[in-house]
């Protein structure tokens, strides 16, 4: 038991539904019921939230806002009725557009707790899917050290290759796709994305490609198969590297392709014709942009190209990723506006030649991943557990909405390490521009 009962008669008792109403400044836009039999909100609402037990109430009251609701939801204590847990998009639309928690002052919070018949409120342990809180992580290593980055990447990507196969589909690609048309399949869009990157990099037979943050090797394998290059990929996930190497051998590409397990900072190879960074910059840390892009530049030969593909903010204001994302999905993740990324690349001495925002494409990509999770829900729960599966459904549906609302963007930035003479080996009219 995490909540102790207050002495009788100290406060006028209220129901959980009534207390919930006081914490929502704009009213309750959904149906709400609780284990004490109380209810609130429109009785005919399509989306209904049911609070199952005291532990869920403790989560809500000790961490108000998205973290408290996420903890209760992931633990199974807060149930969203009328939305599939693999794709709770409709519920997220309602919550993100209309849910506005009012944070009470300490004295008012104490009155609310006592009016519920609760005394001293102790937060229960967070669900096991939650990563270590920041103050504990700080004791285990400096932010973005090699050891801590490895732990963070493994937390997110070493969930289960089988789980990712069911959610991502045959491409095993966990980055924004590029849809050639709205009715294209997810697989078509992922192949089109890799092809777009290859064309922007100007790859041709015999070139050497470095792919950092290579995941399950999709970019490496596409570039080798379709453009005849020799490619090296690097990932900090053991499971990704093992899966990628098996796929490379199965497709008989091991004479020209490899995906190594390790930190990109330990890579000694140089003289590459092209470097692709697809979905890694989010894990680097904004303060580390200069050293990151400086390192990638040092791996290129003069005239070589860099394609950086990453999630970005819609502005350049400093902001964190939010408690839910940091605790459950991308620990230590940091985002910046595209201007900050372009500036960092330019300050290394590289020449930026093209940038493109694909945010609508990421919304479509997330729609496809949520559909896969929903369609394979029982098997996904059996593989990773209900809590982890609910984390992914909540995260992907919320991210889809964020891209649709222009709260998040996805930018590809193409740059060249020019020759000392200034020659960029760049065509007057690149073919991908049509």
| Residue 112 token pair | 């609310």
In a domain, 46, yes or no: yes
pLDDT score of 350: 98
Q: Are 396 and 102 in contact (CB under 8 A)?
A: no
Assign residue 240 the CATH number of its domain: 3.40.50.150
pLDDT bucket at 138, cuts 50 / 70 / 90: low
pLDDT score of 4: 40
pLDDT score of 193: 98
Domain boundary among 93, 115, 137: 115
In a domain, 2, yes or no: no
Is residue 330 domain-shared with residue 239, that is, in the same domain?
Answer: yes
- Does 432 score more than 70 pLDDT? yes
Is residue 314 domain-shared with residue 379, that is, in the same domain?
Answer: yes
Is residue 31 domain-shared with residue 170, that is, in the same domain?
Answer: no
Residue 77 to residue 52: CA distance in whole angstroms:
5
Residue 82: count other Cβ atoms within 10 Å of its Cβ.
15
- Does 97 score more than 80 pLDDT? no
Is residue 188 domain-shared with residue 51, that is, in the same domain?
Answer: no
pLDDT score of 156: 46
More confident residue, 126 or 75: 75
- Tell me which DSSP letter residue 87 carries: B
Is residue 258 domain-shared with residue 345, that is, in the same domain?
Answer: yes
Average pLDDT over residues 389-407: 92
Average pLDDT over residues 65-78: 86
Average pLDDT over residues 292-311: 97
pLDDT score of 22: 74
The phi and psi torsions of 3 (rounded to 5 degrees) equal -120, 130
Average pLDDT over residues 203-211: 98
**What is the rounded average pLDDT for all residues in the chain?**
86
In a domain, 345, yes or no: yes
| Residue 355 token pair | 């940038």
Is residue 168 domain-shared with residue 67, that is, in the same domain?
Answer: no
Is residue 291 domain-shared with residue 407, that is, in the same domain?
Answer: yes
**Ordered DSSP codes for 286-338:** GGGHHHHHHHHHHHEEEEEEEEEEEEEESS-------HHIIIII-TT----BH
Is residue 56 domain-shared with residue 182, that is, in the same domain?
Answer: no
- Does 353 score more than 90 pLDDT? yes
Domain range holding 266? 150-433
Residue whose C-alpha is closest to residue 270's, from 237, 236, 298: 298
More confident residue, 28 or 78: 78
- Does 414 score more than 50 pLDDT? yes
Is residue 48 domain-shared with residue 183, that is, in the same domain?
Answer: no
- Does 146 score more than 60 pLDDT? no
In a domain, 383, yes or no: yes
- Does 19 score more than 60 pLDDT? yes
The predicted-structure confidence for 150-195, as pLDDT tens digits, reads as follows 455 444 445 689 999 999 999 999 999 999 999 999 999 999 999 9
Domain boundary among 115, 142, 177: 115
Element (H, E) at 277: strand 272-278
Is residue 66 domain-shared with residue 183, that is, in the same domain?
Answer: no
pLDDT bucket at 67, cuts 50 / 70 / 90: confident
Residue 83 to residue 47: CA distance in whole angstroms:
7
pLDDT score of 105: 65
Tokens 């990929």: give the residue: 233
Q: Are 167 and 372 in contact (CB under 8 A)?
A: yes
Region of poorest pLDDT, from 40-54, 96-110, 129-143, 158-172: 129-143
More confident residue, 300 or 117: 300
Domain boundary among 56, 91, 115: 115
In a domain, 302, yes or no: yes
Element (H, E) at 80: strand 78-81
pLDDT score of 153: 47
- Does 326 score more than 50 pLDDT? yes
Region of poorest pLDDT, from 91-100, 145-154, 265-274: 145-154
- Does 362 score more than 50 pLDDT? yes
In a domain, 6, yes or no: no
In a domain, 126, yes or no: no
- Does 241 score more than 60 pLDDT? yes
Residue whose C-alpha is closest to residue 369's, from 173, 147, 153, 130: 173
Is residue 162 domain-shared with residue 56, that is, in the same domain?
Answer: no
pLDDT bucket at 197, cuts 50 / 70 / 90: very high
More confident residue, 83 or 416: 416
- Does 10 score more than 60 pLDDT? no
In a domain, 275, yes or no: yes
Q: Which long-range contacts (CB under 8 A, 24 or more apart) does 298-302 make?
A: 298/270, 299/210, 299/267, 299/269, 299/270, 299/271, 299/272, 299/275, 300/271, 300/272, 300/273, 300/274, 300/275, 300/417, 301/270, 301/271, 301/272, 301/273, 301/417, 302/417, 302/418, 302/419, 302/420
Residue 55: count other Cβ atoms within 10 Å of its Cβ.
20
pLDDT score of 2: 39
- Does 3 score more than 50 pLDDT? no
- Tell me which DSSP letter residue 404 carries: H
Report the Cα 250 to chain-centroid distance in Å: 29
Average pLDDT over residues 236-244: 92
Please give the tally of structural domains in the chain: 2
Is residue 107 domain-shared with residue 174, that is, in the same domain?
Answer: no
- Tell me which DSSP letter residue 84 carries: B
Residue 101 to residue 65: CA distance in whole angstroms:
6
Q: Which long-range contacts (CB under 8 A, 24 or more apart) does 403-407 make?
A: 403/359, 403/360, 403/362, 403/363, 403/366, 404/360, 404/363, 405/96, 406/314, 406/359, 407/314
The fraction of the chain above a pLDDT of 70, given in percent, is 82
Average pLDDT over residues 270-289: 94
- Does 294 score more than 80 pLDDT? yes
């Amino acid at each position: 038991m995490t909540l102790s009962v207050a002495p009788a008669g100290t406060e006028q008792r209220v129901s959980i539904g009534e207390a919930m109403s006081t914490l929502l400044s704009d009213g309750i836009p959904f149906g709400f019921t609780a284990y004490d039999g109380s209810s609130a909100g429109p009785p005919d609402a399509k989306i209904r939230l049911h609070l199952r037990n005291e532990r869920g109430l403790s989560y809500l009251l000790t961490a108000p806002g998205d973290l408290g609701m996420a903890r209760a939801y992931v633990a199974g204590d807060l149930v969203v009725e009328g939305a599939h847990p693999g794709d709770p998009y409709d519920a997220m639309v309602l919550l993100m557009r209309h849910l506005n928690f009012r944070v009470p002052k300490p004295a008012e919070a104490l009155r609310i707790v006592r009016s519920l018949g609760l005394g001293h409120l102790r937060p229960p342990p967070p669900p096991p899917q939650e990563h270590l809180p920041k103050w504990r992580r700080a004791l285990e290593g400096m932010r973005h050290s090699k050891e801590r980055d490895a732990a963070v990447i493994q937390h997110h990507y070493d969930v289960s290759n089988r789980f990712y196969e069911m959610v991502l589909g045959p491409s095993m690609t966990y980055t924004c796709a590029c849809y050639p048309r709205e009715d294209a399949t997810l697989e078509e869009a992922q192949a089109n994305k890799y092809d777009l990157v290859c064309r922007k990099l100007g790859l041709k037979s015999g070139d050497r490609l470095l792919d950092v943050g290579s995941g399950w090797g999709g970019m490496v394998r596409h570039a080798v198969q379709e453009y005849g290059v020799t490619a090296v990929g690097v990932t900090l996930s053991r499971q990704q590297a093992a899966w990628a190497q098996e796929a490379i051998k199965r497709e008989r590409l091991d004479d020209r392709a490899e995906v190594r397990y390790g930190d990109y900072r330990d890579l000694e190879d140089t003289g590459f014709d092209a470097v692709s960074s697809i979905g890694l910059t989010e894990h680097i840390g904004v303060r580390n942009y200069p050293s990151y892009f400086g390192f990638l530049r040092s791996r290129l030969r003069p005239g070589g190209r860099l394609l950086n593909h990453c999630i970005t903010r819609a502005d350049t204001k400093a902001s964190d990723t939010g408690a839910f994302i940091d605790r459950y999905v991308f620990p230590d993740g940091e985002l910046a506006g595209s201007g900050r990324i372009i500036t960092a690349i330019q300050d290394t001495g590289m020449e930026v030649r093209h940038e493109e925002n694909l945010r609508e494409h990421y919304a479509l990509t997330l729609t496809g991943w949520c559909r896969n999770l929903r369609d394979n829900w029982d098997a996904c729960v059996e593989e990773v557990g209900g809590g982890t599966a609910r984390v992914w459904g909540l995260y992907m549906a919320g991210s889809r909405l964020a891209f649709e609302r222009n709260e998040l963007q996805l930018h590809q930035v193409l740059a060249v390490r020019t020759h000392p003479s200034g020659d960029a080996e760049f065509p007057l009219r690149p073919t991908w521009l049509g």
